[in-house]
Chain A
């Protein structure tokens, strides 16, 4: 019995039935991670001692009947931009190389209360800025499907860890596709909830108006169960939304009869890989066979999402990342002359190239004389994009398309041309601008054997519709384990 090949719900059920102890489950994950890490580097930190200790506590709580969550005892990995009390939290940046938070992110706290056991912190693009996990200060993560390829990003460590069976599921964060795109590249399922559904308290901000925490798992049933556990109204997060219905698992129904699915023609134009296109259209066909009404339509404005996104995200990031200055925590330069030199040296030595690039761009678009032309223009574009989605959701329950234009690129191919790299976010970015929920799930492989992701986008607060569509689609195929899940 390979515990690491089970879904969270399956493993949770075994733990509940006392067929597997929490310590066995957690040790299986820790051992798998330790065995595979030298090749993959999905983690920044593995907390063997803490996880084993926590396993004992959770087992006791289970034995005493204190917890009844399907995830109780199941090992989870958390992206390293979520604060974990007493456990190193780096954002994969040198500037936080030694930062040990004294508080835990609300989403992680919710998982822990439900009995989840955090085994470690996963690698990511520095401050979630990137699409390949190559901008990490602690080395790139490799794709478990092919070690010479990237896992995607920025939640590349979380997605690779799930795909490789180093943990049962993981938390990621998604600002412009950072859960969905690496899920697509790693052949796992990742969901980005409606903005405001999961508390951002304790999530180290990149683009505050876009960031959302979400689950990464083997299938949509796990994602729904995880989301049900981490979603909550949190009075510590002013942008948290009080929702009427958190019962996401109720949507796990194999029935899409009459569901209206729109395929944006503008997602299938130039730049889309032929294999990806075919796999996604085939997935649409599957849903149609199950009774969904599938139609092509014109979403419009698609190319404008990228510039609007980068202006907004970089502007917010330039401000959010100002606090990393060598005064209160993290890296401080060893030698400096006076205050401003200390700031400059600490930040220049502490931040990597991509973070600096975005901080500079963000500072520029907010600076005197450019605010209206760039920042306000981007906010106006965002309003138009939201309107375009509103119009689409008047007609459709779900929008279906590819998650990314291509499968995972080779390591080292992307960083040299930023614009080319940013173009890879074209299908995911507008979802964040409009605050929508979306899921990426595997829908096949390309000619090189790399996974392809199908993206299902829902209207705000309509997670249940995409979960239902995803679940129905999943019933038409088997989960494909990466070669690494077999070792």
Chain B
């Protein structure tokens, strides 16, 4: 599976990842990604039929918290690093219509 990364793909990934690349960066990204993906295609040499995908290394399960409120007013800490804030909340560009 050879992947030629097109301008459209770079554009699309930019939307997904919220990254805006300069023309120069785009060209570089196209080249890098094509090479990386070609390299990753090595995995196709491996027969993984019947192998369960392994997301967790250890068979640990059922780690729970009990339903007890222990946190107190966190607003000061929450907003401590806010780039812009207003009325106790984070200020962002208007989200309606965007």
Contacts and interface: CB of A to CB of B under 8 A. Distances in A.
In the complex they form, whether A and B have CB atoms below 8 Å apart is answered with yes
Nearest to A86: B80
A376 B53 contact: yes
A329 B40 CA distance: 34
A342 interface: yes
A381 to B, nearest CB: 6
Contact of A310 (B1, B40, B84, B90): B40
Contact of A342 (B44, B55, B93): B93
Contact of A434 (B13, B42, B57, B98): B57
Contacts of B13: 360, 363-364, 367
B43 A308 contact: yes
Nearest to A357: B32
Given A344-B18, A356-B19, A419-B36, A381 B48 contact: yes
Contacts of A365: 40
B31 to A, nearest CB: 10
* Best-buried of B1, B12, B53, B77 by chain A (most CB within 10 Å): B53
B21 A241 contact: no
Contacts, number: 162
B33 A329 contact: no
A1 interface: no
Contacts of B82: 328-329
Q: Interface range on chain A: under 10, 10 to 19, 20 to 34, or 35 or more?
A: 35 or more
A239 B60 contact: yes
Nearest to A240: B63
Given A100-B81, A328-B82, A360 B29 contact: yes
Given A235-B65, A357-B32, A338 B58 contact: no
Interface string B12-40: 11101111110001000100110111011
Interface string A431-464: 0001100000000000000000000000010000
20 contacts: A209-B56, A235-B65, A301-B46, A304-B43, A306-B39, A307-B40, A327-B90, A329-B83, A339-B92, A339-B93, A343-B18, A348-B20, A363-B17, A364-B9, A364-B37, A377-B46, A378-B40, A379-B55, A382-B54, A384-B51
